[in-house]
Amino acid sequence: MNEPVIDLTSINAVVFDTDGVVTDTARGHAAAWKHVFDAFLRGRSEPFDIRYDYLRHVDGRPRLDGIRAFLGARGITLPEGSPEDEPGAATVHGLGLAKDEIFMGQVEKYGVAAFPSTVALLHELRQRGARTAAVSASLHGRKLVTSAGVMRLFDLLVDGNDAALMNLPGKPDPALFLEAARRLALPAARVAVVDAALPGVEAGRKGAFGLVVAVAREGAAAAELRAAGAEVVVSDLAELMIRGKVPPV
């Protein structure tokens, strides 16, 4: 296992996934998904298991992709429907709209918190000359990062709105991470990615990034994250050390 270090003599920028890495929102997402899926699955299948189903099928994927992946794993096929469906309708869009309604209701009521260790790491990276970017599959990515009060710590953000405009595929495809690297004007080999979800770690490996760091918070299996392509696995970013400085241009 590699030492938990980012060496800034070879890595010049770090791209952070948002949910579960920057913002403490993964639990809210998981709870919203459980509420929606359990209501739909009643009489059809076993309840949604946060520790298994969320991590393997939903976490880190665009909302509709997560629905398709989870239902596919249960052998259930639904019509796609449309964005005009009623929230909770028995369509892919209907379930997605219900989840979004519940999750954003939580955000409006309780706000969004950033992980203190991530904030400290971002400050240190920038003090040492590294560039930073945030990536989110969510259409609300910018709102969540702004609500957490940390947008100023990133040079740029690529979220679900950018993905929709540019027709970028979701993780485990590396397109979102690669777009962030492109906007930073750096080759992937000079960029580290940090993610907490299996599809995001796999995306980092597929994109041939210089370093793939996984955050194995509660419920996440470090062994699975390593198998997906993580070179460094930590339980919290406070464990990650920074070495050196980015050489001046």
> What confidence tens digit (pLDDT) does each residue in 236-245 have?
999 999 999 9
Q: Catalytic pick from 7, 19, 53, 162?
A: 19
* C-alpha radius of gyration, the chain, whole number: 18
In this predicted structure, which of 23-27, 99-103, 205-209 has the lowest mean pLDDT? 23-27
19-28, 79-88, 187-196: least confident range: 19-28
Place of tokens 């739909």: 40
Q: What is the pLDDT of residue 23?
A: 96
Question: Which amino acid appears at position 241 of this protein?
Answer: M
Residue from 7, 17, 159, 162 carrying the catalytic annotation:
17
The stretches of 62-156 forming alpha helices (DSSP H) are 63-73, 92-110, 116-127, 141-147
How far is 171 from 65, CA to CA, in rounded Å? 9
- φ/ψ of 91, rounded to 5, equals -135, 165
- Burial class of residue 21, CB neighbours in 10 A (0-12, 13-18, 19+): buried
Q: Per-residue pLDDT for 146 more than 90? A: yes
Q: What is the pLDDT of residues 201-232, one digit of tens each?
A: 999 999 999 999 999 986 568 999 999 999 99
173 is catalytic: no
Contact, 94 vs 101, CB < 8 A?
Answer: no
> Annotated catalytic, 155?
no
Measure CA of the first residue to CA of the last residue in the chain; give whole Å: 32
Tell me the pTM.
0.91
